[in-house]
Amino acid sequence: MKHIISALVENKPGVLAHVAGMFAARGFNIDSLVVGRTEDPKLSRMTLVVVGDDRVVEQVRKQLARIVPVVKVQDFAGQPVVARDLMLVTISAPPEKRPEITAMIDMFRAKVVDIGPKSLMAEVSGPESKIEAFVNVCKPYGIKSLARTGTIAMPRQTKTEV
């Protein structure tokens, strides 16, 4: 099962290496890792996506919480969250294919952020499934390069009734 773990950490040198080292020492793979400052300049938020059974991930979460520069750890499994990825992708786009490619970009609510003589660059954000779907439709045109941020997530503030 995929788990999204959020760790609020002190914004100091070496914290990222310490956290990554803890995962590596236990033979646990990190599927995605994003780190950024928060509203408090003394703190950063790490968002880690890991795949594993609930028991193993819970053990890792507890060990992560014991690291001194870690202020708070939260596993979002089973909780309503807003999760997003960001991707920049350069697509082969000769002039005769550009209208077709830009229509596809519009369909995904993405943006063209750069145009070259034989390619264009698109910015896509959204759930991981949307990013993956966009990559799949771009493959026939030729992907020249691709960069992804990984998942960021925060718990939903309101509970929705179904």
What is the CATH number assigned to the segment(s) 82-154? Answer: 3.30.70.1150
Start and end residues for every CATH 3.30.70.1150 domain found in the chain: 82-154
Start and end residues for every CATH 3.30.70.260 domain found in the chain: 2-75
By CB neighbour count within 10 A (0-12 exposed, 13-18 middle, 19+ buried), where does 159 fall?
exposed
Query: Model confidence over 121-144: pLDDT tens digits?
Result: 999 999 999 999 999 999 999 999
Query: Model confidence over 84-97: pLDDT tens digits?
Result: 999 999 999 999 99
Query: Model confidence over 35-57: pLDDT tens digits?
Result: 999 999 999 999 999 888 888 88
Q: Which CATH class is domain 2-75?
A: alpha beta
pLDDT the model gives residue 28: 82
Mean pLDDT of the chain: 91
Phi, psi of 22 (to 5 degrees): -65, -45
Beta strands in the chain (DSSP E): 2-10, 32-37, 43-51, 70-75, 81-92, 111-115, 119-126, 143-148, 152-155
CA distance 11 to 40: 9
Distances in whole angstroms, Cα of residue 130 to Cα of each of 2, 59, 75, 144: 17, 31, 23, 19
Look at 78 and 158; give whichever has higher pLDDT.
Answer: 78
DSSP state of 52: S
Confidence of residue 162 (pLDDT cuts 50, 70, 90): very low
pLDDT the model gives residue 41: 93
Q: Which of 10-19, 74-83, 136-145 has the highest mean pLDDT?
A: 136-145
